[in-house]
Amino acid sequence: MAKKENGKKGTADRKRSAKKESYREAVAAVPATSVAVVEDERDRPLLGLRERLGMNRETFARLIPISVRHLANLESGQAPTENVQRRLTELRRVIQALSEVIQKEALGPWMTQPNEAFDGLKPIEVIERGEVDRIWQMIYYVRSGLPF
């Protein structure tokens, strides 16, 4: 019986290891133009993204949305669940697109300031509400030069 339990544990460990490797491969597949936004020199992409935005864990966790403890675990190398990975991918894409139309150093403060384009909501609140399409619409108008 002990052998079976060890076998099951080994399988779970292999699955976790494969999931971590999958996550690392996904991060490595991010285009070179976005590397400065999503990675840092310590090979911890979430920490790099959070630091790039100048956000504390509490604020950044709201964007995904996950608990602060879960964010800390992810930043220390724990593999994200499929749902969290999907949210992170979406967040990276939005941040990358925003960094093309907003100065990178102003991006973090912009996310936490009320914005008339979003009816006085902060962009972070728009994302929390699941209305990220409003941000994509704003990006489209800024890129195209059309009035918003």
**The predicted structure's pLDDT at residue 132:** 94
DSSP for 100-113, please give it. Answer: HHS-HHHHHHHHTS
Helix 104-111 vs helix 82-101: crossing angle, to nearest 10? 120
64-119 per-position pLDDT tens digit: 999 999 999 999 888 899 999 999 999 999 999 999 999 988 999 999 999 999 99
Percent of residues, the chain, with pLDDT higher than 90: 49
CA-CA distances (angstroms) from residue 61 to 73, 100, 125? 12, 23, 12
